[in-house]
Amino acid sequence: MAERIPIGSDHAGVELKARLIEELEALGYQPVDMGTGDSKSVDYPDFAHRVAAEVERGEAWRGILLCGTGLGMSYAANRHPGVRAALSWTPEIAKLARRHNDANVLVLPARFVSEQEGVEILRTWLDTPFDGGRHVRRVEKIESGTRYAEP
């Protein structure tokens, strides 16, 4: 069965999102468009929370978000326990976000990458596994939070 991948954007990311949905379908995934649907101005957290909540609840094991800079989507998505949303502006960043951080949400800065770069970043993120090893401990420490704030 095709992997279901929720994908959301605000108005700034809507065009690139459409291109990524096409790419996901061509690759055999089942992208689920969580909005927005057009270029009318909307609030990015509404879409970040929809996608991140699916990953938090385990309804999807990964998701995709786009906004102008990718920053607002990252802030909102990373409020969800278990979500590691990685703002990725090159394929290399996306690769390391998977290899070292086990990133389960890809965030793209739609106003700062071309369509072709966006597709390349997506494909790299989809195809790169987590390295595991020493990175498991580090990723676990993200979730355990303030316990590690003491020197």
Helices (H), ranges, 90-132: 91-99, 115-127
Nearest to 37 by CA among 10, 19, 77: 10
Which of these segments, 67-75, 81-89, 90-98, 142-150, binds ligand RB5 (CB under 6 A)? 67-75
Is residue 35 involved in binding ligand RB5 (CB under 6 A)? Answer: no
Nearest distance from C-beta of residue 84 to ligand RB5, angstroms? 18
Q: What is the dihedral of CA 52, 55, 50, 94, to 10 degrees?
A: 50
- How many chain residues are in contact with ligand RB5, going by CB under 6 A? 8
Is residue 136 involved in binding ligand RB5 (CB under 6 A)? Answer: no
Phi, psi of 19 (to 5 degrees): -65, -40
Question: CA distances (Å), 19 to each of 71, 103, 137, in order?
Answer: 20, 22, 36
Which of these segments, 19-27, 64-72, 100-108, 136-144, binds ligand RB5 (CB under 6 A)? 64-72
Among 17, 72, 88, 113, binds ligand RB5 (CB under 6 A): 72
Is residue 44 involved in binding ligand RB5 (CB under 6 A)? Answer: yes
Q: Is there a catalytic annotation at residue 80?
A: no
Count Cβ neighbours within 10 Å for each residue of 18-53 and write b for 16 or more, e otherwise: eebbebbeeeebebbebbbeeeeebebbebbbbbbb
Q: Which lies closer to ligand RB5 via its Cβ, residue 113 or residue 126?
A: 113
Q: Catalytic pick from 11, 49, 67, 80?
A: 67
List of residues contacting ligand RB5 (CB under 6 A): 10, 12, 44, 67-69, 71-72
